[in-house]
Chain A
Amino acid sequence: MRREIPLILTGIVGITFFVQFFVPHSPMRELSETFSDWYSIISAFAIWLGGLNLMKISFEKVYKKDKDWFFAVTTIVSFFLILIVGLFFSGGRQYLEQGSGYDWLYRNIYSPLSATMFALLAFFVASASYRAFRARNAQATVLLLAAFIVMAGRTPFGDWITVFLPEGWRLSNLSNVIMNYFNVAGQRAIMIGIALGIVSTSLRIILGIERSHLGGE
């Protein structure tokens, strides 16, 4: 029960999607449509699970008077704030509409928080540039040089410092060449590797050779 049914389910669903690709005839199409819908619905529950789990952990923190229990309270409050506003006070199905409470929370709380969180990375990139990125060997040197050409070439700065070169032969053109040829060649090698890796992992999962996703036991 604990292992066999999940393995069989994985196999059936995986093989359906595989066969459906080569066989358009029914019932392959209907089956794959149904499984797609299932996927959507189950993922929705999975994400709800994430939210509920967060609440569970936060309540435990408050209950145990963990040292950061106050912040657990703010998490709980903000979760329920947007949940209640979004479900009951934002016009139902039209909850995304401009002017709804949900939209207001999105604009003024969620959006700045999420955007600033990512903006912090700019500072970390700057400090890592200064303190960590070293031309420690030939490979790293090539990497940094390519990065320089791209960074300079993608802004007018690159053309200013190579103004002595004829037009069309400056850094911006060099960065085009790097992006469109060298970068493509390297990315392609990586992509092919990833593709093969995914094929073999998927194959192992479908055939039940790989079971790590089912957890231990």
Chain B
Amino acid sequence: MGKKVALGICIIIILPLLIWLVYLKPGPSSVSYPPYDLTAISTPFDTAGSVTLNWFCLEGDNDSAATFPNYNILRSQAPEGPFEGIGSVGFEYPRATDISRQYRDTAVVAGFSYYYKISCDLQGETIESNIFGPISPVMAAEAAKVEVPVDKSDIMVFPPTQLRVFDTPNDAGGSITLEWKVSASDAAKSLLFNGYDIYRSTSAEGPFEKVGETTGGVSDVDRQVKTLRDGKDIINGQEYYYYVAAKWDGQEANSEIAGPAVSRQQWFHTGRGVSLVLLGILIGSILYFINRAKAGKELFIRKIAGLEAVDEAVGRATEMGRAIFYVPGIQDMNNMQTIAGLTILGRVAKLTAEYETKLEVPVSRSLVMVAAREIVKEAYLNAGRPDYYNDDIVYYLTDDQFGYAAGVDGLVIRKKPATVFYQGAFFAESLILAETGNSIGAIQIAGTAMPAQLPFFVAACDYTLIGEELFAASAYLSREPKLLGSLKGQDLGGKLIFLSLALIFVIIATIGAFSQNAVISDTIQRMFNVN
């Protein structure tokens, strides 16, 4: 039955997931990465007037620069052409390591408009850029004060390009996302680059006001794109227009105006669909099994090694005629581990009552003392030995962590118990306790879900209930429907799903990797993206 249910659940989840996959929308990756992304400006500080072109280099340029063909620069006076070649540059200009290339066209006349494009013959294929223009060179009023360096990117600022503005997806409104291709001056990592200013207006004509600034650098290396969320006093439903200015050594270069963008609230976070589906299944199966357990259905739980040892350990204490110590951790009753630990105490107490072995439970919280007394009393009653019970079995030492450890230490050394249990939430005192128990040769059975203390218990105790085993043991012993059902629900709705999804998708991913198909593993990874 369990298998069928599990299988059913698996199929139920995988189907919507696959449907989800089909409808999977790409992220807000609006800025394309065409070859080149050509921009041109009238060269600053050039009293003669000239145009400087900038474009991003083609793939392979940086890697195999020496064998890479030159870029041809084509110019026209009308957007439709005809374009004529006016020169060419190689990979080394201005610097081989840059991600962009530049060319300065000096054979121009101030006041005329020009259109440019770049082409390159790569392995028999001609790759052309976008057409940029119109651009008219302006004669600068004064020359640059400093000597014009060889690195042309260091004397002028290029504008950011391809600015896109859109409502930030999946939010409660109040913000608009801007995305632009970084300025060439920024991409060249010029030290004088000062970041970007963001200007905003409610109409395309302006007036624009500065609403923020940001540093240089890219948010997405592959696309050379910078993303920014403007959240300054945005009103939902209002149209906004933006432009971005690149700042470089006192100069600024503005992008084109983009917009309008309207900020809106969304009703559902589309990136969280997979979460909702998987979480829904988990929640559903937990509730289902809790109900089943309540209805009295038998739910199977495997044997837990530490629990089996409990009988043996109690038996040994009886043989030796010594006491059993039970330490329920140093946390209060609101901690699930303490509660689980006390359930196990019930079992131990029942055994000690049957064997007539002395039990001692030193505790560090008054509430735990009250609860532990209840549990021990009930266990003695159930074992038919209520006469054997007295309140002194459970006693309070102190709330203080080290004080409690020192107290238990002293007791253990004096009374030399045959068996010591540590079940509950433990912190740094764990190793002090375990060491002392060990030094008197007691059998020690520990159980905790504190990850940092588990190693010490494993190394110093005979048996350790590791993490979840503690909770499983408590569910097993108490037979409480809510605990049993949760355990079962976690197993089938969580772990089994994880296991089966992992197995299926690992196989698919491996096939994808060996067939050199990047899309497959990419899709798998994106499916489980956390947003």
Q: Are B459 and A133 in contact (CB under 8 A)?
A: yes
Residues from chain A with a CB closer than 8 A to the CB of B460 are 128, 132-134
- Interface: A190 (CB within 8 A): yes
- Whether A203 and B435, one on each chain, are in contact in the complex, defined by CB atoms closer than 8 angstroms, is no
Q: A209 to B266, alpha carbons, bound, how many Å?
A: 32
Report chain A residues within 8 Å CB of B334: 212-213
Residue in contact with A139 in the complex, picked from B272, B279, B435, B458, CB distance below 8 Å? B458
Cα distance A41–B486 in the bound complex, in angstroms: 32
Closest-CB distance, A79 to chain B (whole angstroms) = 15
Query: Which residues on the B side are within 8 Å of A216 (C-beta)?
Result: 371
A132 touches B435 (CB 8 A): yes
Contact with A along B404-434 (1 / 0, CB 8 A): 0000000000000000000000001001101
CB distance from B273 to the nearest CB of A (A): 9
* Interface contact A22-B272, CB-CB below 8 Å: yes
B171 contacts which of A24, A197, A207 (Cβ < 8 Å)?
A: A24
- Complex interface: chain B residues within 8 A of A49 (CB): none
Interface residues in A190-217 by Cβ distance below 8 A to B read: 190, 192-197, 199-201, 203-204, 207, 209-210, 212-213, 215-216
Within 8 A of A (CB), among B233-280: 265-269, 272, 275-276, 279
A146: min CB distance to chain B, Å: 9
B339 lies within 8 A of chain A by Cβ? yes
Residues of A within 8 A of B456 (CB): 128, 133
B459 close to A29 (CB less than 8 A): no
Instruction: Flag whether A179 is at the interface (Cβ < 8 A).
Output: no
Q: Taking the complex as formed, is A117 at the interface, i.e. its CB lies under 8 A from any CB of chain B?
A: yes
CA distance A147 to B467 in the complex (A): 20
A197 to chain B, nearest CB (A): 6
Query: Given A136-B462, A147-B455 in contact, is the A124-B482 Cβ separation under 8 Å?
Result: no
Q: Are A212 and B333 in contact (CB under 8 A)?
A: yes
Q: Which of B455-507 contact A (CB under 8 A)?
A: 455-456, 458-460, 462, 467-468, 471, 482, 486, 489-490, 494-495, 498
Q: Which secondary structure dominates where chain A touches chain B?
A: helix
Compute how far the CA of A25 lies from the CA of B174 in the bound complex, rounded to whole angstroms.
11
Residue pair B458, A199 in contact (C-beta under 8 Å):
no
A131 engages B438 (CB within 8 Å): yes
Interface size class of A (residues with CB under 8 A): 35 or more
Chain B residues within an 8 Å CB radius of A21: 269, 272
A161 within 8 A of B: no
Q: Given contacts A124-B432, A128-B432, A132-B435, are A209 and B459 in contact (CB under 8 A)?
A: no
Is A127 in the interface zone, CB < 8 Å from B?
yes
CB distance from A143 to the nearest CB of B (A): 6
Q: Which residues of B contact A213 (CB under 8 A)?
A: 334
Bound-state Cα–Cα, A167 to B177, Å: 50
Cβ contacts under 8 Å, A195 to chain B: 494
Q: Which residue of A lies closest to B339 (CB)?
A: A212
Give complex CA distance A194, B336 in Å.
Answer: 12
Contact A144 B459 (CB under 8 A): yes
- Could you tell me which residues of chain B, from 327 to 352, have a CB within 8 Å of some CB in chain A? 333-334, 336, 339
**What residues on B are CB-neighbors of A207 within 8 Å?**
287
B402 within 8 A of A: yes
Report whether B431 and A193 are in contact in the complex, using a CB–CB cutoff of 8 Å. no
A52 to B343, CA, bound (A): 32
Q: Which residues of B contact A132 (CB under 8 A)?
A: 431, 434-435, 438-439, 459-460
B467 touches A23 (CB 8 A): no
Query: Is B290's CB within 8 Å of the partner chain A?
Result: yes
Question: Does A121 have its Cβ within 8 Å of any Cβ on chain B?
Answer: yes
Supposing A131-B435, A209-B290 touch, asked if A200 and B489 sit within 8 A by C-beta, the answer is yes
Which of A24, A140, A203 has the most chain B CB within a 10 Å cutoff?
A24
Report the minimum CB–CB distance from B54 to chain A (whole Å).
Answer: 39
Per-position 1/0 for A88-115, Cβ under 8 A of B? 0000000000000000000000000000
A125 interface residue, CB < 8 Å from B? yes
A26: Cβ under 8 A from any B Cβ: yes
In chain A, positions 162-203 with a C-beta closer than 8 Å to chain B are: 187, 190, 192-197, 199-201, 203
CB pair A127 B282 closer than 8 Å:
no
CB distance from A212 to the nearest CB of B (A): 6
Q: A25-B267, A124-B435, A212-B333 are in contact. Are A143 and B459 (CB under 8 A)?
A: yes
Could you say which residues of chain B place their CB within 8 Å of the CB of A201?
A: 336, 486
B227 at the interface (CB under 8 A from A): no
Q: Is the CB of A199 within 8 A of B282?
A: yes
Q: Is there an interface contact between B482 and A128, defined as CB atoms closer than 8 Å? A: no
Determine how close the nearest CB of chain B comes to the CB of A26; give it in whole angstroms: 6
| Alpha-carbon distance A212/B290, docked complex (angstroms) | 17
Could you pull out 18 A-B pairs where Cβ atoms are within 8 angstroms?
Answer: A21-B272, A24-B267, A25-B172, A128-B432, A128-B434, A128-B460, A133-B459, A133-B460, A134-B459, A190-B467, A192-B495, A197-B490, A199-B286, A203-B283, A203-B286, A204-B290, A204-B482, A216-B371
Q: Which 6 interchain pairs have the tightest Cβ spacing?
A: A132-B460, A200-B486, A196-B494, A132-B438, A29-B172, A133-B459
A26-B173, A144-B459, A196-B494 known; 13 new pairs, CB 8 Å cut-off, are A24-B171, A25-B172, A25-B266, A128-B435, A131-B435, A132-B435, A187-B451, A190-B451, A193-B467, A195-B494, A197-B490, A199-B494, A216-B371
